[in-house]
Amino acid sequence: MRALNRFSRIAGRAAFGGIMALALSMTACKSNKLYDSPRVSSFRGNRLPAPPGMVYIPSGTIFYKSSQDSSDMGKNVSLSAFFIDETEVTNRQYREFVNWVADSVAVVDYLKDDQYFLKEDNTNEDGANDANVERLIDWKRVKKESPLWLSKNPEIQEKLRPMLTMKAGKRVLNDALLTYRFSYLKMDGRNNDQYVTDTVGVMPVDDIWSKDFPNAQMHAMDANYFYHKSFDYNPVVGVSWKQARAYADWRGKEIMASLQKNSYLKGYQLTFSLPTEAQWQYAAEGKLDPVDTIQRTRLTIDDRKSDKKRLAVNFKQGEGTYSRDGSTFTVPVKAYTPNAFGVYNMAGNVSEWTLDAFSPSAIEFVNDLNPVLLYDADDRASYALKRKVVRGGSWKDNGSMLNSDARNYEQQDEAHSYIGFRCVMSAFEMATPQVKTRKYKN
């Protein structure tokens, strides 16, 4: 019995010692910053600083439909925050992409000059150049002379002569040489965990205007639209969905490479792509108030000087009537007025590629959070599998195609004079007054 009581006293002292140790350790934790979470304050301002040429779109909700005609068939979906181009991609911006590809080909395949490469060690154990080590282009050096194919240097001209071809009496780049390679996670319903590398020609279709409008005089548009500086700020056209996706990949890499060390985006892994059709619709509606219903596109504005209504969107007003809105074809990308998010020409001007594959019943498949229907069809796939969603209506469409929920589609490898695109980049949620830390009140 005495032994048992002695054991109880020892156990009691041990338990007390354990409790004291635990208390001491908890006291130590209080001074450990690992557990010192700051209180939440709301973000000052209504939008995050955006990359060049983009605007911030806060998270929100839209009513998402599969068909324009089924007004009561759909569901609410939520979108997390993202950045979107404030304008459609311009001819000038897309020419920068084409020249980058041309410079790459010129340096790697034709010039092969050490001055255009970064000075990195690419030798093997014997001290000889290792052909298996890819040499990196010194883009700071190249951009001082870009585009190289237009160089006035006789030596460079001679070396790059094979890159050029004659077209309409002028020396221009050989389209077949200008390809861009990029990798992505292929989504085809079977192998959704495999990365593939695609090679895409980057030049827009030269004679796209004449192809789209047979028996119409379009030769001047074919010859000048992409090349002449008077069209620099008009939206690029004649670009397929695959080419638009290639541009988005390149643009994302260019933006991330150009970020300053003190940029708040530095170090993040951010997605850069074409907008999903849900992102596109949300940005087009410009709903600053989340309880708003669908915002129908305003086709006219009141002119205070003349007390008359003026067209505020670039579209076809009726049979054979294209120019009452101020232009027969496209207009500069910052024409008219931006919406509440600061985005221009989401309706009219050019229709725009989205990331989604087209399905009449897409609403049945997609999630209610950041919905997207992805399908990467092979070039030899059937017509139905290669359809991609096009949104917004264009300069040659009537008013019914301009509503933010109107849907259309086109083949992923087809290009037209009335389809362009813009890009999106993933973003982050801002702390709003809704989530700020408050004192508890009983």
What pLDDT, in 10s, does the model give residues 25-56? 555 555 577 888 889 888 877 778 899 999 99
First and final CA of the chain: distance in angstroms?
Answer: 54
Domain boundaries, the chain: 9-35, 39-89+202-442, 91-187
Q: Are strands 387-391 and 351-357 parallel, antiparallel or unpaired?
A: antiparallel
Pair of tokens at residue 336: 């008219």
pLDDT at 8: 46
Task: Identify the burial level of 254 via C-beta atoms within 10 angstroms of its C-beta, where 0-12 means exposed, 13-18 middle and 19 or more buried.
Answer: middle
pLDDT of residue 74 exceeding 90: no
For 403, other C-beta atoms within 10 Å of its C-beta total 20
Q: In this predicted structure, what is the pLDDT of residue 34?
A: 85
Q: What percent of the chain has pLDDT over 90?
A: 62
Whole-structure pTM over 0.95, yes or no? no
Q: Is the pLDDT of residue 334 over 70?
A: yes
Q: Quick: pLDDT tens for 141-152.
A: 999 999 999 999
Indicate the range of 111-125, 318-332, 381-395, 403-417 predicted with least confidence: 111-125
- What is the pLDDT confidence band of residue 19, given thresholds at 50, 70 and 90? very low
The reported pLDDT for the residue numbered 36 is 86
pLDDT for 28 equals 53
- State the Cα–Cα distance between residues 204 and 388, nearest whole angstrom: 18
Predicted pLDDT of residue 72: 58
CATH of 39-89+202-442, one of 2.70.98.30, 3.40.190.10, 3.90.1580.10, 3.30.460.10: 3.90.1580.10
List the helix and strand counts (H, then E) for the chain. Answer: 8, 16
Q: Is the pLDDT of residue 434 over 90?
A: no
For the cut 80, the answer to whether the pLDDT of residue 157 exceeds it is yes
